[in-house]
């Protein structure tokens, strides 16, 4: 395509660190043309940022490009409650502060009040004016002590501290379930028109089953659903199967079904404002141009190049849920991966995304249409979270833990 916005895109890609001078507007005959070199530059940027590499400058890539226009020192940084500063320079500052032991939050690239407090602590240590503004004097002092910064995971100390304190396991633990219909996302390239509806139906059903299982072990699950009055259509094989599977998934050891209405909220922020210690589980399906693609994968917030987690609990949840999924369903293990997706980093708390399978694969799509298979997916979420929150070594092998085992654990604890 040809568009005047491509001229600005070329310049932004260069400021974001791309070294291909062949995309410089002055070096090409038509700088408004989205040519192959621009396509390669966009894909390089997406790969570098841990985004989906599709060459499309959509909302995720646009936001990441905006953040990448700044490096630390390009502008003064300060706390603005009305319009918080956001960018890669803020994330770099947070990383430096955390490695020095001043900042214990997530590296979210947003200059929050917590970041301002950390800057003041740094300024007090440097003996400069303690105003919370990252100006030349503060940056000079930071550079002076940066030689003492190590590659430790100090930035995730808060998560490690939370993890060490999770002795009560799932009891009363807030687990937020986010099916695909509650997430803003771009459909995979080449997906058919009914992909979104199928994905919403499957992920919503797995979320409901996971919700009821979590209730049965004393957890405090929350379902995010922006439009609970219009439920997604079911694609299960038969109504009888759906009813039977739903009933078996929600009964506890005595055969009782929970009577309390489900806790449903319209947005994730509604929960996190009150419970920043919640665990967030995002559920969705995938699509690939190749019908041979199959398997399950999980994702957590971290550095794609090194796999280093920015949220240790999110990584642990991602790993444990994946192991249960593979063991309980026989699906191919596609791994647990670090990504910089905004859906994982913007929550400000531990989050994991679970890809339940490929609807482009006939066999996998058939499995996902069965209530019994979705029940195993929900069990995998429950048992994976139990393994996250119960001290190791685990008493049972992966894939063998049952709902009764988990219920007995809490009865023993009581």
Specify the CATH number for the domain of residue 60: 1.10.101
- The verdict on residue 81 lying in a domain is no
Q: Residue 217 pLDDT more than 50? A: yes
The domain in which residue 59 lies consists of 5-67
Residues 51 and 138 in one domain: no
- The verdict on residue 78 lying in a domain is no
- The verdict on residue 362 lying in a domain is yes
Residues 135 and 222 in one domain: no
Question: With bands split at pLDDT 50, 70 and 90, how would you rate the model's confidence at 236?
Answer: very low
Residues 229 and 359 in one domain: yes
Average pLDDT, the chain: 82
Q: What is the CATH number of the domain that holds 99?
A: 1.10.101.10
Q: Residue 30 pLDDT more than 90? A: yes
Residues 192 and 252 in one domain: yes
Residues 260 and 192 in one domain: yes
* Counted domains in the chain: 3
- The verdict on residue 227 lying in a domain is yes
Residues 94 and 199 in one domain: no
Residues 183 and 280 in one domain: yes
Residues 184 and 206 in one domain: yes
- The verdict on residue 80 lying in a domain is no
Q: Considering 123, 152, 181, which residue would you say is the last residue of a domain?
A: 152
Residues 148 and 165 in one domain: no
- The verdict on residue 74 lying in a domain is no
Residues 373 and 292 in one domain: yes
- The verdict on residue 188 lying in a domain is yes
pLDDT at residue 258, as a whole number: 46
Question: With bands split at pLDDT 50, 70 and 90, how would you rate the model's confidence at 18?
Answer: confident
Q: Picking from 20-24, 29-33, 137-141, 371-375, which range would have the lowest pLDDT averaged per residue?
A: 137-141
Give the model confidence (pLDDT) of 151-179 as tens digits. Answer: 334 444 455 555 555 545 677 889 999 99
Round to whole Å and give the CA distance between 279 and 347.
Answer: 10
- Contacts of 6-15 spanning 24+ positions with Cβ under 8 A: 6/31, 6/32, 6/33, 6/34, 6/38, 7/31, 7/32, 9/34, 9/38, 9/42, 9/57, 9/65, 10/38, 10/41, 12/65, 12/68, 12/69, 13/38, 13/41, 13/42, 13/45, 13/65, 15/68, 15/69
Residues 185 and 275 in one domain: yes
Question: With bands split at pLDDT 50, 70 and 90, how would you rate the model's confidence at 347?
Answer: low
Residues 116 and 217 in one domain: no
Q: Residue 348 pLDDT more than 90? A: no
- The verdict on residue 240 lying in a domain is yes
Question: With bands split at pLDDT 50, 70 and 90, how would you rate the model's confidence at 24?
Answer: very high
């Amino acid at each position: 395509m040809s568009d005047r916005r491509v001229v600005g895109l070329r310049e932004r890609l260069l400021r974001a660190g791309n070294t291909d001078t062949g995309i410089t507007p002055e070096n090409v005959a038509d700088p408004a043309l989205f040519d192959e070199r621009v396509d390669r530059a966009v894909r390089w940027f997406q790969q570098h940022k841990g985004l989906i590499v599709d060459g499309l400058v959509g909302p995720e890539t646009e936001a990441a490009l905006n953040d990448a226009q700044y490096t630390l020192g390009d502008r003064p940084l300060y706390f603005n409650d009305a319009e918080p500063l956001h960018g890669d320079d803020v994330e770099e500052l947070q990383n430096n502060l955390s490695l020095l032991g001043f900042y214990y939050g997530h590296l979210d690239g947003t200059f929050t009040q917590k970041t301002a407090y950390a800057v003041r602590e740094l300024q007090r240590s440097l003996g400069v004016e303690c105003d919370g503004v990252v100006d030349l004097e503060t940056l000079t002092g930071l550079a002076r002590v940066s030689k003492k910064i190590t590659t430790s995971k100090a930035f995730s100390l808060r998560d490690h501290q939370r993890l060490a304190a999770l002795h009560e396991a799932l009891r009363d633990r807030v687990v937020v379930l986010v099916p695909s219909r509650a997430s803003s996302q771009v459909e995979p390239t080449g997906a058919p028109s009914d992909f979104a509806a199928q994905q919403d139906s499957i992920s919503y059903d797995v979320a409901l089953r996971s919700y009821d299982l979590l209730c049965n072990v004393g957890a405090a699950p929350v379902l995010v659903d922006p439009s609970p009055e219009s439920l997604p259509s079911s694609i299960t094989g038969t109504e009888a199967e759906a009813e039977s599977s739903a009933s078996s998934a929600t009964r506890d050891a005595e055969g009782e079904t929970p009577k309390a209405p489900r806790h449903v909220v319209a947005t994730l922020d509604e929960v996190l404002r009150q419970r920043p210690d919640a665990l967030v589980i995002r559920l969705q399906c995938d699509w690939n141009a190749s019908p041979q693609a199959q398997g399950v994968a999980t994702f957590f917030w971290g550095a794609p190049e090194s796999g280093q987690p920015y949220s240790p609990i999110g990584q642990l949840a991602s790993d444990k849920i994946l192991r249960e999924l593979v063991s309980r369903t026989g699906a191919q293990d596609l791994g647990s991966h670090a990504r910089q997706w905004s859906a994982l980093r913007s929550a400000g708390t531990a989050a994991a995304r679970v890809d339940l399978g490929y609807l482009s694969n006939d066999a996998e799509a058939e499995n996902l249409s069965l209530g019994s298979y979705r029940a195993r997916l929900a069990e995998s979420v429950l048992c994976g979270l139990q393994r996250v929150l119960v001290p190791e070594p685990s008493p049972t092998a992966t894939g063998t833990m049952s709902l009764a085992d988990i219920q007995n654990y809490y009865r023993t604890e009581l």
